[in-house]
Structure 1
Amino acid sequence: MEILFSVTVAVLVGTGIYLILRARTFPVVMGLMLLSYGVNLFLVAMGRLHSGLPAIIKEGVDYTDPLPQALVLTAIVIGFAMTSFITVLALRARGELGNDHVDGTKDREPGR
């Protein structure tokens, strides 16, 4: 289970970084989303993968650490706000510049 979880985190983070390095706005937005999903899964894994255990500490009972869960919930809200802001920013840049390049330059023909 841990191997599958770590491979999933690695694929999400790797794909997110690859898309962030693209020169168009939509892949950058998708890359930021995938990167945030990978980080959220990593934070959940830091709390150990347990199911059915209480988040309240009692003497002699195993428990699940509630801090990573709280961090992930906060990160989900921040990620949604960031994605919304970047999408609106990309749409405005597309409307004003007429293209969707990150650096604001138009497509160049090969060889020029």
Structure 2
Amino acid sequence: MELLLVILIGVLYAAGIYLMFRRSMVRLLLGLILLGNGANLLIFLMGDIAKGKPPIIKAGASVFTDVYADPVPQSLILTAIVISFGLQSFAIILLKRIYLLTGSDDLDTLNTHDKDI
């Protein structure tokens, strides 16, 4: 299972970087989304995949005695998902506005100073 996740993370990173090198703004945004998902999977994988109980210490005990699932990577991933959703929604609206004003999503045509955005 972990080897499959490592391969998937590599594919997401490679596809994200490849899309970010394209000239289209939409592909740039899709590349950022893929990189974000790859980073989330990497955090999940580094948090160790273990089936276990919730991290609750029983009454009268001072340490964990059973195998428990670490909640920190899960909370980091949840926070990253929420932040990336906000960033993606802002970027989609910004891309739509730029496309309506310029008529193109090519990054090379945006370098002109003829139009005020």
Give the TM interval when normalised to the shorter protein: 0.7 to 0.9
- Using the TM superposition, give the Cα deviation of residue 59 of structure 1 relative to its aligned residue in structure 2, in angstroms: 2.7
Deviating runs (4+, > 4 A) in structure 1?
none
Deviation per residue, 1:37-83 (Å, 9 max, x gap)? 11011111111011243233553111111110000000000110111
Counterpart for residue 101 of structure 1: 106
8 Å CA contact retained: 1:20, 1:29: yes
- The 5 A counterparts of 1:51-66 are 51-57=51-57, 58-66=63-71
1:20 match: 20
Spell out the pairing of 1:85-100 with structure 2 (5 A cutoff).
85-100=90-105
The aligned amino acid for 2:103 is G
- Could you tell me how far apart the structure 2 residues matched to 1:48 and 1:34 are? 22
- Is the 1:54–1:64 contact (alpha carbons within 8 Å) kept by the matching residues of 2? yes
How many aligned positions are there?
106
Q: TM-score, normalised by structure 2?
A: 0.82
* Counterpart Cα distance in 1 of 2:23 and 2:56: 47
SS in 1 for 2:22: coil
| Larger of the two Rg values belongs to structure | 2
Ranges in structure 1 where 5+ consecutive residues have no aligned partner? 107-112
Match of 2:60 in 1: none
Q: CA RMSD in A?
A: 1.7
Match of 1:32 in 2: 32
**Letter in structure 2 aligned against 1:18:** Y
- Quote the sequence identity (%): 41
In structure 2, runs of 5+ residues without a counterpart are 58-62, 113-117
Q: Which residue number corresponds to residue 69 of structure 1?
A: 74
Write the letter of the residue equivalent to 2:42: F
Mapped partners of 1:102, 1:55: distance in 2? 49
User: Structure 1 stretch 50-59 or stretch 87-96: which is displaced more?
Assistant: 50-59
Shift of 1:105: 5.6
